[in-house]
Chain A
Amino acid sequence: MSYEHIDILEEDFWVLKNITSTFQKTIDARVVVLIDRSGQPIVSCGETENIDILAFSSLVAADYAATSHLAGLIGENAFATLHHQGMENNIFIQIIEDKFILAIIFKSHTPLGRVKVEALRTKENLSEIFIKITKKIEEDKTAAFPTEDVEIDNFLEDFFEDLH
């Protein structure tokens, strides 16, 4: 799988969202976020209003990137999961198809074993969808986002107008 950008079509998005939010409810997680390895959130659910999802996603991706290199240093290919334990909240990270990251914030009283089992099950469901999405991107090389140059120019003028 290799690509320069990813298009999430409406139908795929809702499938991803459904899988993710079913998972979140099943284990009663605080938040579940599906993140692209470069650090961009794709789907999030749970009490997302209490967490800075953009910062969280970029740090999870960096965390995973750094630990992958650690794995390399000790002769491992990668770590498929990561776990961070706090006083009241834990974070569990599950890698999907080497390209996406499922990050879960859950209460410390939730048994880790349960989170792991459900995360693995969810990973398998999500993998299927991601493989489909990647295939679509590879087959369809046409412009993802047709826009006129002047439209882009005007759009940027608006934003940068007062910024010097």
Chain B
Amino acid sequence: MSVINYASREINCKIVYYGPGLGGKTTNLKKIYEKVNPSHRGELISLATDMDRTLFFDFVPVDLGTIRGFKTRFHLYTVPGQVYYNASRKLILRGVDGVIFVADSQIERLEDNIESIRNLIENLKEYNLKLGETPFVIQYNKRDLPNIAPMNQLEKLLNPLKVPSFEAVASEGIGVFSTLKEISKLVLKKLSQ
């Protein structure tokens, strides 16, 4: 939920990285944390297990700068991907302004991607939100691996809404910022409508 504060002149928006477990959501946030100048971002909070699997969420706030005199801050969250953590996933979607779906491009993960999008649609319903009306982009991650599905197949299966989509190798930082830039654009444009 965006919060516009006319007294402190701040805009705050919430972006959620969604997708199947091990797809690369946390890696996206880590790259953003690494590369954005510390004066433009806060600390990265990771609620993870000993095995580095996301237990509840990761969080990092990013200051994009000032537009029309308003300091614009995006709060980036990831969800845990494992099927059995659905309660946590649902909680994190509260007040979401934009969703980035991080798909795992590997052929053996096709079903998991589809299942995760279905789950996203279900969970958004809880907050009376529809995917088609929410700023939404898709990132096809792990394009560096040998066993990946071709882009047209992924698009056909995962992107019937024809939202903007990006190829990425999040572990190398490739595609991380183009994805974030696009969702930022969609969120800010929706806000100004």
User: Per-position contact with A for B68-93: 1 when CB-CB < 8 Å, else 0?
Assistant: 10101001010000000001100110
User: Per-position contact with B for A149-161: 1 when CB-CB < 8 Å, else 0?
Assistant: 1011101101110
Tell whether A8 pairs with B7 under 8 Å between CB atoms, given A155-B64, A160-B177. Answer: yes
- With a cutoff of 8 Å between Cβ atoms, the chain B residues found around residue A10 in the complex are 6-7
Query: A66 at interface (Cβ–Cβ under 8 A)?
Result: yes
Q: How far is the CA of A159 from the CA of B96 in the complex (A)?
A: 22
Query: B17 at interface (Cβ–Cβ under 8 A)?
Result: no
User: Per-position contact with A for B34-49: 1 when CB-CB < 8 Å, else 0?
Assistant: 0110001011010100
Q: Are B45 and A5 in contact (CB under 8 A)?
A: no
The residue of chain A having its C-beta at the shortest distance from the C-beta of B188 within the complex is A152
Q: Are B91 and A164 in contact (CB under 8 A)?
A: no
Smallest distance from the beta carbon of A97 to chain B beta carbons, Å? 14
Q: Are B189 and A152 in contact (CB under 8 A)?
A: yes
Query: B153 at interface (Cβ–Cβ under 8 A)?
Result: no
- With a cutoff of 8 Å between Cβ atoms, the chain A residues found around residue B128 in the complex are 2
Query: A123 at interface (Cβ–Cβ under 8 A)?
Result: no
Q: How far is the CA of A151 from the CA of B87 in the complex (A)?
A: 39
Q: How far is the CA of A26 from the CA of B68 in the complex (A)?
A: 37
Tell whether A6 pairs with B4 under 8 Å between CB atoms, given A58-B75, A145-B192, A147-B192. Answer: yes
* Dominant secondary structure at the B interface: mixed
Q: How far is the CA of A30 from the CA of B29 in the complex (A)?
A: 31
**Using a CB-CB cutoff of 8 Å, which residues 1-34 of chain B contact chain A?**
1-8, 11-12, 14
Query: B65 at interface (Cβ–Cβ under 8 A)?
Result: yes
Candidates B3, B36, B43, B77; contact of A163 at CB < 8 Å: B36
- With a cutoff of 8 Å between Cβ atoms, the chain A residues found around residue B59 in the complex are 39, 55, 58
Q: Are B7 and A36 in contact (CB under 8 A)?
A: no
The residue of chain A having its C-beta at the shortest distance from the C-beta of B66 within the complex is A155
Q: How far is the CA of A13 from the CA of B12 in the complex (A)?
A: 15
Smallest distance from the beta carbon of B76 to chain A beta carbons, Å? 10
Task: Report how many residues on chain B are interfacial, defined by Cβ distance under 8 Å.
Answer: 50
Q: Are B1 and A6 in contact (CB under 8 A)?
A: yes
- With a cutoff of 8 Å between Cβ atoms, the chain A residues found around residue B177 in the complex are 160, 163-164
Q: Are B3 and A69 in contact (CB under 8 A)?
A: no
Query: B130 at interface (Cβ–Cβ under 8 A)?
Result: no
**Using a CB-CB cutoff of 8 Å, which residues 35-54 of chain A contact chain B?**
36-40, 42, 52, 54
Q: Are B91 and A59 in contact (CB under 8 A)?
A: no
Candidates B4, B14, B35, B193; contact of A8 at CB < 8 Å: B4
Q: Are A65 and B91 in contact (CB under 8 A)?
A: yes
Can you list 27 contacts pairing A with B, beta carbon distance less than 8 Å? A2-B128, A3-B1, A4-B2, A6-B4, A8-B3, A8-B5, A36-B1, A36-B3, A38-B95, A39-B75, A40-B14, A58-B77, A62-B47, A65-B94, A66-B56, A69-B91, A145-B11, A145-B192, A152-B188, A152-B192, A155-B67, A156-B64, A156-B185, A158-B65, A163-B35, A163-B177, A164-B173
Q: Chain B: residues with CB nearer than 8 A to chain A?
A: 1-8, 11-12, 14, 35-36, 40, 42-43, 45, 47, 56-57, 59, 61, 64-65, 67-68, 70, 72, 75, 77, 87-88, 91-92, 94-97, 128, 173, 177, 180-181, 184-185, 188-189, 191-193
Interchain residue pairs A-B with the least CB separation, the first 10: A38-B95, A13-B7, A147-B192, A5-B2, A65-B91, A163-B177, A8-B5, A10-B7, A54-B61, A155-B67
